[in-house]
Chain A
Amino acid sequence: MISFDFMYFQPSSITETIDMYNGVHEQGEKAMYISGGTEFITFARTNKVYADVIIDSKGIPECNVLEMRNDDVVIGAAVSLNKITNSNLFPFLGATVKQIADHTSRNKITIGGNINSELIYKESVLPLLLVDARVKVVKGTDVRVVSLKSLFDRKMKLSPGELLLQIIIDSSYIELPYISLKRTKFSKVGYPVVSVAAILKENQLRVAFSGVCDYPFRSDEIEAILNDSTIPIVDRIDKVLGNLPSSIVDDLQGSREYRSFVLKNVLLDVMEEMEMGE
């Protein structure tokens, strides 16, 4: 049971949504956006989050778009992970989000919720960072389209009241070779011990990680090491372990040693699958 009470609204336009957020904020109360609402419900039940007003973005048409528009794939923030996979609009993203949670949960979990999650995993961010995705966000009357990279540093850096509307991907990335590998503790369903997504663009491997450090990341240094064909693959992978952006997570899902062992093996699989030999 959620112990606190809140007001709930499902506005049907961006303007209504933003006006409501600002109105609540001006009264000194806490408003919170939700998309799928699953993280809000589980966090609220355990008193990890509080809000006076919940603003559900599912009713905003722009947040439900899932289509090819000119040369872009456009995905609304309130689109469920299963819809993304089933649409097959962008198979790399579809394959990665298919590894998140379980099939039933993916009917409710949205891409906007996953990207903005307070948890450390946010696995849908991995392919998006690799394909230079852009995001459409709105705050007040200001709608802007910016690179995801410019807003994502360990987590989404939206300012208070800013709403993620859409994710936009250049369709030229659709045909590129990709791989998405996730390893969990003991079943297919679970948070990642290690999750790695990779894509090959102009013979250069791009790689992003979740579950390794306590935030998802893509790193220029690591990509330079993995693309250095003068060094044997096993040495490149050893070098990657020494160049992670922060320490490896050490928790009940997996000790630091276990995670680094799994990471090495996953990277070997990635290099082999993507034919990144010496």
Chain B
Amino acid sequence: MAACGDAAMISPPPPAPKGIIRARGVSKRFGDRMAVDGLDLDVPAGCCFGLLGPNGAGKTTTLRMLYGVTRPTSGRIEVFGLDVATHSRTVRARLGVTLQESVLIEALTPVENLMVFGRYHLMRDAELRPRIDELIDFLQLGSHRDVPVRNLSGGFKRRLAVALSLVARPQLLILDEPTTGLDPAVRLALWTKVRELRDHGTTVLVTTHYMDEAERLCDRVAIMAAGAVLVEGEPRELISRLLARDTVEIEASEQEAAQLLSGYEESTNRMQAGNRAVVHLEDAAALVSHIRGRDSVADRRLIVRPTNLEDVFLHLTGMTLEASA
């Protein structure tokens, strides 16, 4: 937490209402396709909230409706307690958005890009200049502050894009797939910054299709598919509510797996994926000894691991799914 002292200035904790975002029955139709279909969403103030889902789930469309650029076909959205349909300008003045695609002006330097963005927010020079220095510091852009953007690396550009959305000290930061296409170290560094912002009171709404990142780094997540939220909650809580703490992957066909598991008492949640049975349960050790005890194949591969959001997602969107007791 080296930047802690001035990080307080990066995002002043605002007197925020309880829920920052509240969406009810929101739908968006494009032609005959429903991009978003009856979505409900509540994002509490001060948390880092992950909106998860595969490509085409409707994440970007949802975000665009939240900041009032796409109009919902039906439903109601409130941000900061304001109806977005009628107060989109006010809402946008108080939030920052980092889009999925790069929006940087390639011919300009990071500092110039930040200047342009400050102008969009009608900020004055006297206010803007120190703010830019602050952000350059916070997102560690100092080494290339005067180099044209086109010569910068992907990770650097992404940090700059995040800096742009922070220019006007937003209370809510919306990030659309901020880590897609970045290498793991850069991704982690970016997440560290996001957490730091959250620690200082900014609410963060982030979309991603990296479930593992979301699980470790988001306070709450909502899993989306086909334009609707399937489940919402804290990652660990979702996992134990919908599946179970542990997962055992057994190299076995469906019949073999059924045999190996027969007579096992504890309730399990089982799924077959090709030549692999995936079993979710509270106590993996007991199952492993149960299998080893009755298995004819001595060196069968068993993988024991914690259950993750990826499993929850597969469970919800229903691959060949089968709950056995």
Q: Are A and B co-members of a single complex?
A: no
| B residues adjacent to A (C-beta < 8 A) | none
Interface residues of A, Cβ cutoff 8 Å to B? none
